[in-house]
Chains A and B, each alone.
Chain A
Amino acid sequence: MKYAFFLGCLIPARELSYEISVRKVLPALGVELVDMKEANCCAPFSIQSLDYVSWLALAARNLCIAEEMGLDILTLCNDCYESLLMVNTVLKQNPEVKDQVNEVLSEVGKEFKGKTEVKHLVDVLHDDLGVKKVKNAVKEPFTKLKVGTQPGCHLAKPKRLHLGVEWGFGALDELVEATGAETIEYDKKEMCCGGPLRGIDDELARPLVRQKLIGLKNAGVECVVTLCPFCFLQFDLGQLEVKRHFKEEYNLPVLHFAELLRMAMGIKLEDWEIRSHRIPLDSILKGRL
């Protein structure tokens, strides 16, 4: 199993522990990652709002690189996933739009042919490898850990491209349970955490994550596990902002799913990775250092 590895902007620039965990976990499960050299920004949805054709062309350039590599794309970021998946679908289904985008791409010597598929980490773990294989790789299960999952909106919406909210949310729950942890239902689970609003409208973003934190705490969750780098930032750094603005403290450790799986597979997080989390991980690291 081999994929063109697309990192995007945010993860290699802010969330190294996520990237490193995937680079350790997937090869251990028999997956080969081939870095996409010269890949550009995905481009995110904010660019789509500014100019649709620019958004199509930027994402299509990345799809062309994967086509040249003869591989499907694997991305870790929900925003990148949504952009790449949507553009791949639009261009495959609309020959006129494809021609328009290829005209733009000719400026940089590329041509979209429609020969690659776009996959998120969860697609690879849940569908390509399978939950059973993931479970079999677990050596140090997180027995009794109560987890609230936050897959991220773009994993499940819009429905026309995905199998629906139930799939997106259910797949992560199944994977978390494969690590031995228990998934807990909580109020506002399917609501956006406000991550995409960070830096654009913080006053609006903050109450959204606060509502989710209230739901998580009331449900007795001990740890938040996410697949999305924006959700991670919003829950991890966001808790400090909620503390400052609302004078409320939740102290809920936040992990990328890849970090949880890595530890369950017996591959320890290094000190600097642990310190990169703003909310201390002490309560879930007991006996794992």
Chain B
Amino acid sequence: MFAIRNLAAMEGNVPEGVLTQARSLMDTGCVVNPVRTIVIEREKRGLARITPPTEDVQKILRKTAFNKKTGIE
């Protein structure tokens, strides 16, 4: 099942919403990123800043050729 889905993705059959998630993952290391008000709210409440390891995520995704397979780079 995964293989069929992956083949479909390589042929460009991907919903735009999923591609948006993939781009966000590649660019920021996260699929969902906090809006500014949440960043401020976290700080106010003494919660740790969200600092995804973007560089590591990009290294992994380039190694697996995710960026080429999905056409996001």
Which residues of A does B touch, CB under 8 Å?
9-10, 12-14, 16, 19-20, 35, 38-41, 43-44, 46-54, 57-58, 61, 104-105, 107-108, 199-201, 272
Contact = CB atoms under 8 A, between A and B. Distances in A.
B56 A108 contact: yes
A65 to B, nearest CB: 10
A52 B60 contact: no
Chain A at the B interface: SS class:
helix
15 contacts: A9-B31, A14-B34, A44-B21, A46-B22, A46-B31, A47-B21, A49-B2, A50-B6, A50-B69, A51-B65, A51-B70, A52-B2, A58-B60, A104-B63, A201-B15
B2 A40 contact: no
Contact of A41 (B6, B45, B57): B57
Contacts, number: 116
A187 to B, nearest CB: 29
Contacts of A58: 57, 60-61
Given A16-B42, A107-B59, A50 B18 contact: yes
Interface in B19-73: 20-22, 25, 29-35, 38, 41-42, 45, 47-48, 50-53, 56-57, 59-61, 63-66, 69-70
